[in-house]
Structure 1
Amino acid sequence: MTERTVVVADDDADIRDLVAFKLANAGYTVVPVADGDEALHAIGEHRPDLAVLDVMMPGRSGLDVLRAIRDDGELARTKVILLTARAREVDVDAGFSTGADDYLTKPFSPRELVHRVTALLDRG
């Protein structure tokens, strides 16, 4: 497997650390960040294969970061999984209509998240 990079953005350090740990154990290079502004900076700098974004973060939300990614010609192909406590249909619809590749609600299975990351990246 070629080295693949994943940016993980979540303002909850426990969740961020858990996701980063599981993805690193699965062989991914992980760039953990604490908020949306850091996420956008890290995505621009590292050009990851995928970003896992919490929707509700201080400052720039995960949806705001997703919009910025999709509006940037050089970043637009970055795969994005939204990871959030917002589970209402309207929230899921907003995530997908903004351009998310997948949407996972908290609480979540870390193993399922790793499978979803792998599946998205294996699809190309």
Structure 2
Amino acid sequence: MTKERQSQHDTQGPLRRIVSSVFAIFETRLELIGIELAEEKERLIGVLFLGLAAMMLTMMALITLTVLIAIAFWDTYRWQSLAAITLAYVLVAVLCAIRARAGLANAPNVFDSTLAEFKKDRDTFN
């Protein structure tokens, strides 16, 4: 009876260690995902803040430029100058939209490090 208990205890030892190791690896990978998410959140908040500030200041400059040009051409080419400014704004807006769309399409994967670690783990266990 004691030999049976010992053999059962011996087989559970390595199995427990393997299961414990797998859970430890999984926990490490989850921590890595959390770190990557936090880094990406901080980066996005910084970029968003700078982008909004740049957009606000650009809008103020464009409004001032529009008023300045409208005042300069008020007596001679009123509507033509405003139409030209509007056309220029539309063209620049379309170019910005195209670049923004391309930037989103070509964005790197957020979890590259985590996926690489999971692939290493998979290769190790295969």
Instruction: Pick the structure with more strand per residue.
Output: 1
Higher Rg of the two aligned structures:
2
The reply to whether TM is greater than 0.5 is: no
Larger RCO (CA under 8 A, 6+ residues apart): 2
Instruction: Pick the structure with more helix per residue.
Output: 2
TM-score between both structures, scaled by the size of structure 1: 0.20
